[in-house]
Amino acid sequence: MEKPVISFENYNDAILQVSIKSLPKILQKGHQFFIEAKDFYHQEPEIKETIDIYLKQLNAYLSVQENLIKNNASISFIRTFLDMHSTIKSKNELKSFIYALQKAVSKKEITKNDPYAMHIDKLQHKLIKQHNEMILQEQVKIIINRKWRSELKTIVNQNPTVGLSGIEYMVSKENKNIPITDTKNNILFTSFDQQPLTSTTPTFRLPGAMGELLGDLEKFELAITIEGDQGGGKTRFTYQLADAFAEMGNNVAIFTLEIGGKSDLITRMKNEYLSPQNRNRISRADRLPNGYNTITSAVGTFDVIIIDSWNKTGLPSQDFDRLRKQYPDTIFIVIFQRTTQKTIRGGTAPLYDAGINIEVIKVDDTFQNNYAVTSKNRYGITGIKYNISTKQIIGAAETNPELEEQPQKAMV
């Protein structure tokens, strides 16, 4: 809650909350003039004008200081988080940091309107996840990926005098003075013969035939587009994807914008494609009351967000990549409808932004032979065909003889 504006009427009470000695000299003089001339405020126009100018300047100064205090909290946490890079932290130290951060949020020292709220939310999520995974270990080496570390460094470098004290009580003595070794020159480029000590992008594979179709996936900025013939089974295929992700313990949200929540088709798809043991991890909604913000509000609760279909959101296609970049740890699976010219409505940009493009082919009206095929896949082989009815692989792309003996390469 913002502090009330200081006015002539409330000045005597409100100014008690302000340290006069800490004000700039001109405002200290303004305060002294107010005390000496306030009795003539309603009688002398020139005195009234001078006091009004002083009050306006005072409120502007206090507003800026209040914002600096708020930014000081977020920058302090960001600075301390950066200092944790390449250091060994105990489970209790991570807990102390998380508790301190949550306390700052609860006290409104950091709010959703903070210019660095996205980074604060991300680092909190990362550390909570790391803390919860430390079941059999007491210490962990903190590694912040290079791109994000560069963004955080830019923030603290732009605010060199803010948050210098950091969060001293959670940084251990043996580690707090370890310098950040990355230089300006090696943040952008890395030699190909320089191998990382540990992988920061672990892969995973969905169970069964779905895993064979998509390959070894990386969660970071993972987005999948689905397009295809009308009546081919795009929605049915997304329910199978939802079940596969839920099988691995992910919480999945499906925005069923094409089909109302009361439709019997939703019930039939649930019964046919969602395993009973996975249904408690899959939720649905058939509306976007706040558009883009409705989608982003689901990010903290769900690991995977499915949208059927994007054209019903009313959002520009550029927002698809915006979601992927803004929330890199959330997996987005989106159906795009086609035009009569067989191109996706709203532009083809999402096909370039996504890591995987899946096309659903309608073979005949029986639905028994309809299949999904990857037309682009950064994580596996393109051309593998997946029968939507049988949930089985029915074919694969022809192998290029020139590539048969080549070693498998990690996609970046």
Question: What residues form DSSP beta bridges with 284?
Answer: 254
Mean pLDDT of 50-68: 82
Which pLDDT score, from 0 to 100, does residue 407 have? 32
pLDDT of residue 336 exceeding 70, the answer is yes
Q: Are 306 and 241 in contact (CB under 8 A)?
A: yes
For 41, the token pair is 């405020």
CA distance linking residue 48 with residue 39, whole number of Å: 10
Provide the 3-class DSSP secondary structure of residue 382. Answer: coil
Residue type, 371: Y
Which of 161, 177, 193 lies at the terminal end of a domain, its last residue? 177
Q: Is residue 110 part of a domain?
A: yes
CA distance linking residue 251 with residue 303, whole number of Å: 5
Which pLDDT score, from 0 to 100, does residue 173 have? 36
Residues 258 and 142 in one domain: no
Structural domain tally of the chain?
Answer: 2
Q: Are 220 and 329 in contact (CB under 8 A)?
A: yes
Q: Is residue 190 part of a domain?
A: no
Q: How many residues does the chain have?
A: 412
Residues 112 and 7 in one domain: yes
Percent of the residues in the chain that have a pLDDT greater than 70, as a whole number: 82
Which pLDDT score, from 0 to 100, does residue 19 have? 82
CA distance linking residue 85 with residue 150, whole number of Å: 12
Query: Between these two residues, 200 and 95, which has the higher pLDDT value?
Result: 95
Which of 162, 177, 192 lies at the terminal end of a domain, its last residue? 177
Which of 160, 177, 194 lies at the terminal end of a domain, its last residue? 177
DSSP letter (8 states) at residue 17: G
The residue written with tokens 């370890």 in the block is 178
- Name the E strands within 229-381: 252-256, 282-285, 304-308, 331-335, 356-361, 371-377
Highest-pLDDT range among 72-86, 156-170, 196-210, 242-256: 242-256
- Name the E strands within 19-177: 88-90, 139-141
CA dihedral 227→229→231→232, nearest 10 degrees, is -70
Which pLDDT score, from 0 to 100, does residue 74 have? 83
Question: Residue 95 — very low, low, confident or very high, per pLDDT cuts 50/70/90?
Answer: confident
Q: Is residue 185 part of a domain?
A: no
Question: Residue 204 — very low, low, confident or very high, per pLDDT cuts 50/70/90?
Answer: very high
Question: Residue 75 — very low, low, confident or very high, per pLDDT cuts 50/70/90?
Answer: confident
Q: Is residue 265 part of a domain?
A: yes
CA distance linking residue 306 with residue 337, whole number of Å: 14
Residues 169 and 238 in one domain: no
Which pLDDT score, from 0 to 100, does residue 62 have? 81
Q: Which residues contact 4 (CB under 8 A, 6 or more apart)?
A: 10, 14
Question: What distance lies between CA 402 and its chain's CA centroid?
Answer: 41
Compute φ and ψ for 411, nearest 5 degrees: -85, 135
Question: Residue 333 — very low, low, confident or very high, per pLDDT cuts 50/70/90?
Answer: very high
Highest-pLDDT range among 64-78, 134-148, 364-378: 364-378
Residues 166 and 278 in one domain: no
Average pLDDT value for the chain: 81
CA torsion sign, 226 to 227 to 232 to 234?
positive
DSSP letter (8 states) at residue 200: S
Residues 211 and 351 in one domain: yes
Helices (H), ranges, 298-363: 318-326, 349-353
Residues 29 and 67 in one domain: yes
Mean pLDDT of 165-190: 36
| Boundaries of domain holding 288 | 203-400
Residues 292 and 385 in one domain: yes
DSSP letter (8 states) at residue 170: G
Residues 234 and 366 in one domain: yes
Residues 164 and 209 in one domain: no
Question: Residue 405 — very low, low, confident or very high, per pLDDT cuts 50/70/90?
Answer: very low
Residues 253 and 115 in one domain: no
Q: Is residue 20 part of a domain?
A: yes
Q: Is residue 267 part of a domain?
A: yes
Which pLDDT score, from 0 to 100, does residue 193 have? 53
Mean pLDDT of 156-184: 43
For 127, 156, 221, 301, 329, the CA distances from 97, given in Å and listed in that order, are 9, 18, 26, 22, 21
Residues 119 and 15 in one domain: yes
Helices (H), ranges, 207-338: 208-214, 234-247, 264-273, 292-297, 318-326
Q: Are 359 and 372 in contact (CB under 8 A)?
A: yes
Mean pLDDT of 364-375: 91
Mean pLDDT of 102-126: 82
Residues 17 and 131 in one domain: yes
Q: Is residue 338 part of a domain?
A: yes
Question: What residues form DSSP beta bridges with 386?
Answer: 372, 393
Question: Residue 63 — very low, low, confident or very high, per pLDDT cuts 50/70/90?
Answer: confident
Mean pLDDT of 107-130: 83
Q: Kind of pairing, strands 139-141 and 331-335?
A: unpaired
For 73, the token pair is 């909290």
Residue type, 39: D
